[in-house]
Amino acid sequence: MSQSMETPSTNHTSEQPTLPRHLQLGLSDEQVIAALCGMQRAREVDDRLWVLSRQGKAHFVITSAGHEAIQFGCGWAIRVGHDYVVPYYRDMALALALGQTSLDLLLHAMGKPTDPASGGRQMFGHFSSRKLRLVSGSSSVGSHIVHAVGLALAFRITGETDIASITFFGEGATSEGAWHEGISIAGVHQLPVVFVCENNSYAISVPLKKEVPVPDVATKAAGYGMPGVIVDGTDIFAVYETVRAAMKRARSGGGPTLVECKTHRLRPHSNSDDHTKYRPADEIAAMQEHDPIQRLLAYVVEHNLMTQEEWDAARQSIRQEVNEATTTADRVPDPPLESLFAHLYGTEEHDA
């Protein structure tokens, strides 16, 4: 190896060693470790849900595997309990990043009356918390975009400043009517809202080329009067840097931004799907190389934030926590039959 190749990485203008990426972004070692553990917790809950589905205990499973860096990177950029967050069904890791727990998610998945999202009323994936300003979405793809834009319009009408809403969706949603209607209004009024597209190249079995007419969703932004930015969605730091700037811009009256985070859906769309029927085996194998958890782990080990042994112990304790949460959630009695029509529009209780 030549002398020059052995020289440690330097900043050539000042000759100072280059600061690690997280310190450049103002993130502490502890924040990075917490995000890595949170992403692993999301993956562990995800794994558990597939098992519970096989056991007939979780009726619906929708995976966040492969999207964790996007959701935790955005979690850093959101002022929790202040900004409004309008997620979509794939945002389980985001719910954890904002402060929900493994138990909250398991109660939700198992339809228990103590489910904090909806008291067991909603299909899994409708994350919700008043305290976290996490707004329950609708199952109809793209329809929640108008909710996020409506919130931003409400801030404008009521004169609330230094606040933004942020909404999440897949690239398939950008072909829905509600998406166009919502993002148009945001552009027309330059509202304080950030649009985060989690582009995993598939809408269930439909590949990108058949659902989106352009290679990059971000280019659509130009037609709605806002900037569009493309980010590597497996790089938590790139996501944070971009979304932090977009949120700052929105909160300070600069208008909306469309951020496209490119990633991979590492698993089938849901427990009703088998992606081996439409994805080539080599594509499925190759995308495992782009696992965002492995990417952040490599960074953490490289910068001596954690040793491999510490990581192994952390993983063990996360699994233990998810095991305990599963047992706790499983022991909660199911809602009584008499409550079947509770909280439904048009019922006596609701009308009273």
Ligand X SMILES: Cc1ncc(C[n+]2csc(CCOP(=O)(O)OP(=O)(O)O)c2C)c(N)n1
- Residues within the interface to ligand X (CB under 6 A): 90, 139-141, 169-173, 198, 200, 202-204, 265, 269
Provide CB contacts within 8 A for 295, sequence distance 6+. 69, 234, 235, 236
Tokens (6 digits) for 345: 């529009």
Q: Give min distance, CB of 197 to ligand X, in A.
A: 8
Task: Find, among 183, 193, 192, 188, the residue nearest to 159 by Cα.
Answer: 192
Cα gap 261→234, rounded to integer Å: 8
Asked if 170 touches Mg ion (CB under 5 A), the answer is yes
Q: Does 200 bind Mg ion (CB under 5 A)?
A: yes
Q: Which residue has the tokens 């999440």?
A: 168
141 binds, among Mg ion, ligand X, none (CB under 5 to 8 A by kind): ligand X
Extract the tokens encoding 120.
């067991």
Q: Which is nearer to Mg ion, 199 or 242 (CB)?
A: 199
Count Cβ atoms below 10 Å from residue 174 Cβ, excluding itself. 25
- H helix or E strand, kind and range, residue 287: helix 281-287
Q: 68 touches which of Mg ion, ligand X, none (CB within 5 to 8 A by kind)? A: none
The 3-state DSSP class for residue 94 equals helix
Nearer to Mg ion, 48 or 264 (CB): 264
- Between residues 73 and 116, which has the closer beta carbon with respect to ligand X? 73
What is the distance of C-alpha 346 from the center of its chain? 34
Determine phi and psi for 216, rounding to 5 degrees: -120, 120
Nearer to Mg ion, 108 or 269 (CB): 269
Residue 92 or 98: the one with the smaller Cβ distance to ligand X is 92
Residue 233 is a binding residue for Mg ion (CB under 5 A): no
Sign of CA dihedral 101, 125, 38, 134: negative
Part in contact with Mg ion (CB under 5 A); list of ranges 160-168, 193-201, 244-252, 343-351 = 193-201
Min separation Cβ 91 and Mg ion, Å: 13
Q: How far apart are CA 314 and CA 316, in angstroms?
A: 5
Contact segment (CB under 5 A) with Mg ion among 45-53, 192-200, 272-280, 287-295 equals 192-200
State the minimum distance, in angstroms, from the CB of residue 211 to ligand X.
Answer: 7
- Which residue minimizes CB distance to ligand X? 170
| 111 vs 233, beta carbon nearer Mg ion | 233
CA gap 348, 71 in Å, rounded: 40
Q: Taking the complex as a whole, how short is the minimal distance between the CB of residue 217 and ligand X, in angstroms?
A: 10
Pick between residue 70 and residue 203 the one whose CB is nearest to Mg ion: 203
Residue number, nearest CB to Mg ion:
170
Q: What is the DSSP string of 171-212?
A: TGGGGSHHHHHHHHHHHHHT-SEEEEEEE-SEETTEEHHHH-
Which of Mg ion, ligand X, none sits in contact with 108, Cβ below 5 to 8 A by type?
Answer: none
User: Minimum CB separation from ligand X for residue 151, in Å?
Assistant: 21
The residues binding Mg ion (CB under 5 A) are 170-172, 200, 202-203
